[in-house]
Chains A and B, each alone.
Chain A
Amino acid sequence: MPTTPIAPPAPHQPQEDPTSLLPKKLARARPLFDPEIVQRAVRASFVKLNPMTLLKNPVMFVVEVGATLTTAFLIRDLVTGAGGIGFSLQISLWLWFTVLFANFAEAMAEARGKAQADALRKTRTDTIAKRLGPGGRIDHVPASVLRAPMMVLCEAGDLIPGDGEVIEGIATVDESVITGESAPVIRESGGDRSAVTGGTRVLSDQIRIRITSNPGETFLDRMIALVEGAERQKTPNEIALNILIAGLTLIFLLAVVTLQPFSQYSVNSTGSGVVPSVVVLVSLLVCLIPTTIGGLLSAIGIAGMDRVMQHNVLAMSGKAVEAAGDVNSLLLDKTGTITLGNRQAVEFLPIHGVNAEELADAAQLSSLADETPEGRSVVVLAKEKYGLRGRHIPEHDATFIPFSAYARMSGVDFAGRQLRKGATEAVCKFVAERGGEVPGYIQEVSDRISRNGGTPLAVADGKRLLGVIHLKDIVKGGMKERIAQLRRMGIRSVMITGDNPLTAAAIAGEAGVDDFLAQATPKDKLEYIKKEQLAGRLVAMTGDGTNDAPALAQADVGVAMNTGTMAAKEAGNMVDLDSNPTKLIEIVAIGKQLLITRGALTTFSIANDVAKYFAIIPAMFMATYPALGKLNIMGLHTTESAVLSAVIFNALIIIALVPLALRGVKYRPLDAAHLLRRNLLIYGIGGIVTPFPGIWIIDQIIHALGWA
């Protein structure tokens, strides 16, 4: 076997919260603190101390400058032999830790991606391709010389040398390297299953492939670059948030820088105390600037992409993930997403003079050889409703009539009986041809079934018409609840179907979607998306066929199925490697979770400052204005212990929140008002309250250990 799967599939975890839209943790999730990843991240934390790298993160850059400053003062004091070295040393160390902790958070997020990229890279072995020359000549050349649009031949056992399109033949292909899914898939020329990916292996048969991408630009290359974060660009919202926290940093810089002259005035006017030292002022500054969010911001973004990846979805940019959170309308394909994909028999409707059991029996017999899901559902219904066990008909006694598009019915001839089931018109014609009687109301019954979103199948035994089977689209279990959840989250769900409007309306009603698009052609889809966007809505959709490409490109979030064509994959901004269209809902939830995590940690970070003021300000002026001691509501021991406790708390909170940043805050599909109330309570009020006991405990410990 050629492949190292990206990660071994892990067992599904039990779902903790049945209402949660977030899917169960899937296949590729590594444990959050995988030892190998942690090691890698620790190393990277030090590399990232390089000021040129840190310059991209203004908040942590300020902390680094502060740490350098306090270290310089420490060295000066060491040289001159001044007192208070223990304090400066501890402050300097903790300030460096603050930077390292922030670096670690980012490195953790990146290391997870890098580990995945390495696993992928291992699969990129040097393949020898069978290039088809003029006149059918085969040259054996390294894959690296292949360029579009060369032709190659791949036989069973060959690695496909590059991304391309099957132009001749059909083969089973093992794509587990990309998808992690071990079951082979069919690739054939023409239609929507013609795309093949470099690095996957042909298991049977042979295919001719036209190469469509040059080395370095293949899907696998792009995937590696993406998971590695090499192409990572800051998303629009991340940029805006960076501006906000950089601005706050400047404001706090002003507040702290001007505090020095204010203290000078106060010291002059009271004639007591000293102006706070640079070490103390730097400590105050670092405590005030939003280091928590500043340190975790990029980790949150990378982790968001990573979470999408853990769902086996490849997001082409962070911007797409962010946009997913903003989606207003979800275009969901009916078949496979909203309904089970197959119609199922739900009822037998006999005509007058026929009892239901007779109809069920005939229906079951006619379906015994029908291996379609519809046929099997008829057998199952007859068994469940009338206790008719599936019987075995000896093959030599019977002639099975398979379904044909021309006859529009199927059935069996045996023991002198001609059992048929099929489209009402076709079966009625069959009966009439044999001189049977066709009651007029049969058409009404059929129409009624159609109107309710079902499909009528008439059943006949020779010239006797027996009745109608009601086949129905079955809405997936829990789908109605999910759609209701989406509505609460403010997302309209739109069902896309090729059915006629009557049928579509019935299923739409049953599933509870907000709108539907019946008899949808790709052009209709595109028009619908444009219309929604014109009304200011962001649209997400899934698609697989080449003719979906324009709509995928137009949609704000376009998820292409991996089984789809290359054109579809190019057009969308995400690729679902599992080709599961239901996942769109989960992607939206991940996008929202990403934004919520950012907002929550920003709020928390700013709210923390209140307590830090109460810790540091009275401590700073203990000598000048002992009366300010009344603000020392935490009762911190000394000036040094108060400042140190605040700095330590500030550093530790970053580490404490790394798991939250990487995992994202728990997302509940609530409406905005409830979400806001909940999150404001937890991260706003919680952010104000938490540091008080936190700083107090650290102060107790420091005091007990005699550090300050």
Chain B
Amino acid sequence: MTATGVLQILGFFLVLLALTKPLGLFMARVYEGQRTFLHPVLRPLECLLYQLGGIKEEIEQRWTQYAASLLSFSLFSFLFVYVIQRLQAILPFNPQGFTTKKTTPDVSFNTAVSFMTNTNWQAYGGETTLSYFSQMAALTVQNFVSAAAGMAVAIALVRGFARRQGTTIGNFWVDLVRGTVYVLLPLSLIGALLLCSQGVIQNFQAYTTATTLEGGTQVIAQGPAASQIAIKQLGTNGGGFFNTNSSHPLENPTPFSNFFQTLYILLISAGLTYTFGVMVKDTRQGWALFATMSLLFFIGAFVCYPAEQAGNPILAKLGIQTGATIGQPGGNMEGKEVRHGIAPSALWAVATTDASNGSVNSMHDSYTPIGGLVLLFNIQSGEVIFGGVGAGLYGMLLFVVLAVFIAGLMVGRTPEYLGKKIESKEVKMAMVALMACAASILMFTAISANIDFPKDSYWNPPGAAIANTNNGGPHGLSEILYAYSSGTGNNGSAFAGINVNTPWYNLTIGLAMLIGRFLIILPMLAIAGSLVGKRYVPSTSGTFPTHGPLFVALLAGTVIIVGALTFFPALSLTPIVEHFLMEAGQLF
């Protein structure tokens, strides 16, 4: 590690910490329907949307109605994105004249699911597949609303904890509109402008053809990038405008744009912990979640970054300078942009896998085994380390339910959290969510690691499903495991090194994304519905304290142990063994 690298990570965290409270407070006011400084400007827009949608602002929903609204909205979003892709050839804003040759039914299905579930897994290459209209009307819109839907679910769950003996958990449509109008829209506007100032492009021009110094020609892709990038980071979507995502110089040109985008990845999720504290009327509870997430974030960052900075021992043995020197980053620079360097790349990678964001500024496939292990584990631990907007909070609350249930018994009371008893229904729902995710990741990977297809078959033209990987051995299995983890975790980042654009992978990863989204959301809403009706138990000195370092350690331990127990066998055959083999001199 270098001092600069460590300072970059710490400095980043301090800025995030400083913004958590003001943003969290603002969001709490928004979701509780209080007036904010943006109301004079945005309230008319909010009201207009209610009028257009026939939404009655003051009518609240039970959890089943809330879930039904969310599901119908998601279904509509899916169909909308699917149809636009399939019809892009006859739709406007298509200067490159993209046809539907590449937006086949399976890709379109995968992409529609991907953006509707806030995953932004990209089986396609943006600049070679989609028209500006498809990018904007289909994808960017989903970047907003899928994020807002995730936040809505989190807020609904928080209401379950905060309200006493109620029946309703809010109105999905109102939460959706408020999140979009007051939180995502203004922040992405600011973001887009700042990114433009750094040189990120925003235009509707046809692609530019340039002549390089060597005299060759290069096609430089153009388009309305800045607006999509701001929201892709903010909404933990992660779907890049260009195929290479934020390592593309027109998507992420400068150190500041890089810092700013990393910050935007975690911003809302961090802020929501404070929102949670405000809404349950005990901000210490929110800070406890923030502290847990921060602890796990630092563990990841300070395992991944040193591993990357240490680089490959085999190269070092060959006498190659792998230490950092002036003007030389040292370490493992394979797959990393020189203009970013090791620490900002590792920081980004950790942040993007923590947050189910999925945008990348370096190639995760090229990380050292330990670096890659951190990224993989961040996703597999349930995307709760800040996590996706909303998804991180409700995911972490799932672990809170488990931690409080197991450890809470050890204080000699029926477990309770924030005055609400955790009983069979809550435990059942938490286990359903946990099992669904584990099943999706493990089963799909297990099948793909062994399933055979005839060569040039419809489902997988390269043949066996493992034929799509670029590498053999444990690394090849890592590539498959990462793909399904990313899909199930609604992360969307690619380890890459695997061709996933075949009907087999498009279908199975699409299913993984659906499982990872809805088999968590529905149980969590059911928990909200169960909790909201419960009586509040006042806390005493006999109550299990859920703030303070002990709880933070317990919660972080639960996240790690549950993740480790579920995935250790799989991980031991992927990055772990790869690491030992690398030490023994074997690479894949």
How far, in Å, is A99 (CB) from chain B's closest CB? Answer: 22
B410 touching A596, Cβ below 8 Å: yes
A269 with B561: in contact, given A258-B443, A672-B545 (CB under 8 Å)? no
What is the chain B residue whose CB lies nearest that of A629? B580
A270 touching B473, Cβ below 8 Å: yes
Looking at the complex, which of B63-71, B105-113, B229-237, B434-442 is the stretch in contact with chain A? B434-442
CB of A19 within 8 Å of the partner chain: no
A600 CB contacts on chain B under 8 angstroms: 409-410
Interface centre among B407, B537, B561, B577 (most CB of A within 10 A): B577
A599 with B543: in contact, given A240-B427, A243-B424 (CB under 8 Å)? no
Looking at the complex, which of A115-123, A149-157, A321-329 is the stretch in contact with chain B? A321-329
A680 with B569: in contact, given A254-B439, A491-B540 (CB under 8 Å)? no
CB of A542 within 8 Å of the partner chain: no
Cα(A284)–Cα(B544), bound, Å: 34
A603 with B569: in contact, given A243-B427, A672-B544 (CB under 8 Å)? no
CB of B454 within 8 Å of the partner chain: no
CB of B95 within 8 Å of the partner chain: no
What is the chain A residue whose CB lies nearest that of B577? A625
How far, in Å, is A396 (CB) from chain B's closest CB? Answer: 64
B405 touching A628, Cβ below 8 Å: no
How far, in Å, is B218 (CB) from chain A's closest CB? Answer: 38
Looking at the complex, which of A259-267, A437-445, A453-461 is the stretch in contact with chain B? A259-267
CB of B570 within 8 Å of the partner chain: yes
7 contacts between A and B (CB under 8 A): A247-B435, A258-B569, A262-B449, A264-B450, A265-B573, A326-B413, A328-B538
The 5 tightest CB contacts between A and B, nearest first, are A490-B542, A599-B409, A592-B412, A247-B431, A490-B540
CB of A388 within 8 Å of the partner chain: no
CB of A42 within 8 Å of the partner chain: no
A596 with B412: in contact, given A255-B442, A631-B576, A680-B550 (CB under 8 Å)? yes
**1/0 contact trace for A650-694 toward B, CB 8 Å?**
000000000000000001000111011101100110000000000
What is the chain B residue whose CB lies nearest that of A487? B541
B450 touching A627, Cβ below 8 Å: no
A628 with B419: in contact, given A535-B538, A602-B409 (CB under 8 Å)? no
For B542, give its contact among A246, A489, A593, A667 (CB under 8 Å).
A489
A676 touching B450, Cβ below 8 Å: no
A265 touching B406, Cβ below 8 Å: no
CB of A252 within 8 Å of the partner chain: yes
B540 touching A254, Cβ below 8 Å: no
Cα(A648)–Cα(B564), bound, Å: 23
What is the chain B residue whose CB lies nearest that of A599? B409
What is the chain A residue whose CB lies nearest that of B477? A265
* Interface residue ranges of A186-241 to B (CB < 8 Å): 236-237, 239-241
CB of B447 within 8 Å of the partner chain: yes
**1/0 contact trace for A516-542 toward B, CB 8 Å?**
000000000000000000011100000
**Given A254-B435, A672-B411, A672-B543, 17 extra CB contacts under 8 A:** A240-B424, A259-B569, A260-B446, A264-B450, A322-B414, A490-B542, A492-B540, A596-B412, A600-B410, A610-B565, A613-B568, A613-B572, A621-B573, A627-B584, A672-B544, A676-B554, A683-B410
How far, in Å, is A293 (CB) from chain B's closest CB? Answer: 10
A331 CB contacts on chain B under 8 angstroms: none
For A254, give its contact among B438, B472, B542, B577 (CB under 8 Å).
B438
A631 CB contacts on chain B under 8 angstroms: 572, 576
CB of B298 within 8 Å of the partner chain: no
A603 touching B406, Cβ below 8 Å: yes
Cα(A345)–Cα(B208), bound, Å: 106
**1/0 contact trace for B545-563 toward A, CB 8 Å?**
1001010001001000100
CB of B339 within 8 Å of the partner chain: no
A93 CB contacts on chain B under 8 angstroms: none
B442 touching A254, Cβ below 8 Å: yes
A617 CB contacts on chain B under 8 angstroms: 568-569, 572
Interface centre among B402, B408, B536, B541 (most CB of A within 10 A): B541
A269 CB contacts on chain B under 8 angstroms: 472-474, 476-477
CB of B466 within 8 Å of the partner chain: yes
B543 CB contacts on chain A under 8 angstroms: 490, 672
A328 CB contacts on chain B under 8 angstroms: 537-538, 540, 542
What is the chain A residue whose CB lies nearest that of B447? A261
For A264, give its contact among B432, B439, B449 (CB under 8 Å).
B449
**1/0 contact trace for B263-275 toward A, CB 8 Å?**
0000000000000
A599 CB contacts on chain B under 8 angstroms: 406-411
B583 CB contacts on chain A under 8 angstroms: 627
A490 CB contacts on chain B under 8 angstroms: 540-543
B435 touching A606, Cβ below 8 Å: no
A326 touching B414, Cβ below 8 Å: yes
* Interface residue ranges of A589-639 to B (CB < 8 Å): 591-593, 595-596, 598-600, 602-603, 606-607, 609-610, 613, 617, 621, 625, 627-628, 630-631
Cα(A599)–Cα(B412), bound, Å: 8
For B581, give its contact among A244, A488, A627, A671 (CB under 8 Å).
A627
Interface centre among B405, B427, B540, B566 (most CB of A within 10 A): B540
A593 touching B580, Cβ below 8 Å: no
CB of B56 within 8 Å of the partner chain: no
What is the chain B residue whose CB lies nearest that of A488? B541
B407 CB contacts on chain A under 8 angstroms: 599, 603, 676, 680, 684
For A628, give its contact among B428, B446, B565, B580 (CB under 8 Å).
B580
B573 touching A625, Cβ below 8 Å: yes
**1/0 contact trace for B442-462 toward A, CB 8 Å?**
110111011000000000000
* Interface residue ranges of A100-157 to B (CB < 8 Å): none
**1/0 contact trace for B525-544 toward A, CB 8 Å?**
00000000001111011111
CB of B423 within 8 Å of the partner chain: yes
CB of A250 within 8 Å of the partner chain: yes
What is the chain A residue whose CB lies nearest that of B164? A536
